[in-house]
Structure 1
Amino acid sequence: MAGIVNYISESYNELKNHVTWTSWPEAQRLTIVVAAFSIVFSLVVWGVDSLFSQVIEHYFEWIKS
């Protein structure tokens, strides 16, 4: 049990005294960048998925006839 308490105490000390936190405006800017990239990436994946879906659908229609 003492090991867990020591681990938590050392972790808290590390986060409080040795970690350099980004400023609030920088964190907001980076959050917007991540959100925008996520939206663009999801749209690209959706587009590629739709394209492949159409290609496979046409392929199977071609095989049936």
Structure 2
Amino acid sequence: MYLIEAEAKALAGNEAGARQALFQLISTRDASYTLSTNSGQNLIEEIRLTENELGEKVLHSLI
């Protein structure tokens, strides 16, 4: 849900909210993760890359 929220907020122009949603997700898995400083298309790409990475991990765990 955090990734959906992050992407929706980024696309709506709420970059601070998008960064925070992304941080809430990633920081629970990686304590060294810091709040993203990306903006605009770079922030959207970071969110989508995270979606792809997590999706691949789920698929590999099912195999």
TM-score class normalised by the smaller sequence: 0.3 to 0.5
Structure number with greater Rg is: 1
The two structures have a TM-score, normalised by structure 1, of 0.37
Structure of greater relative contact order (alpha carbons < 8 Å, 6+ residues apart):
2
